[in-house]
Amino acid sequence: MFLDGLDEMDRKILSLLIENGRMSYSDLGEAVSLSRVAVRARVQALEERGIIEGYTTILNPQKISGAISCYFDIETEPSTFATVSERLCTEPMVTQLYQISGSCRLHVHAVAASQAELEHLLCSVLGTLPGIRKLEQNVILSRLKDVKGLRL
């Protein structure tokens, strides 16, 4: 099971942090019946183990005027897979990059500030990558459900 190594208290703390990453140690302690110091020690241990990777603010691109959120599925020649992956990792518009099952396939999420910026991404970045066999693009029209973090 993917939760091996986590006791019930760790799971409760993680569930609360997934819902509200800004929750104070005092509030966490109150919710799980531990002291603030004990909760802090548990959270730090989860961070040190790499279970908690970080905390961030999540922006909704649809609420930013002109922003366009897209998904791309890319298939490359095997010999260019690493080059394409490395280049996409350095691209500021790319927010998520996954290697997926299938022959040399990548799943990319990108957010462009405007139609012109999206066109730049397509023509000047993706269009210049070596060994692209297939490129599919989908513009996100609306966000119906978007789960952040792992559900325990």
User: Which stretches of the chain are assigned E, i.e. beta strand?
Assistant: 68-76, 94-100, 105-112, 132-139
Q: What integer pLDDT is reported at residue 145 of this predicted model?
A: 84
**In DSSP terms, which residues pair with 68 in a beta bridge?**
112
Sorted by where each begins, the domain ranges of the chain are 8-48, 61-139
pLDDT tens readout for residues 91-125: 999 999 999 998 889 999 999 989 999 999 999 99
- Whether 8-48 and 61-139 share one fold: the answer is no
Q: What integer pLDDT is reported at residue 151 of this predicted model?
A: 62
Q: What integer pLDDT is reported at residue 138 of this predicted model?
A: 94
pLDDT tens readout for residues 45-62: 999 999 998 888 777 777
Run of H or E residues at 94: strand 94-100
User: Which stretches of 17-79 are assigned E, i.e. beta strand?
Assistant: 68-76
Q: What's the topology of domain 8-48?
A: Arc Repressor Mutant, subunit A (1.10.10)
Q: Per CATH, is 61-139 categorized as 3.20.20.140?
A: no
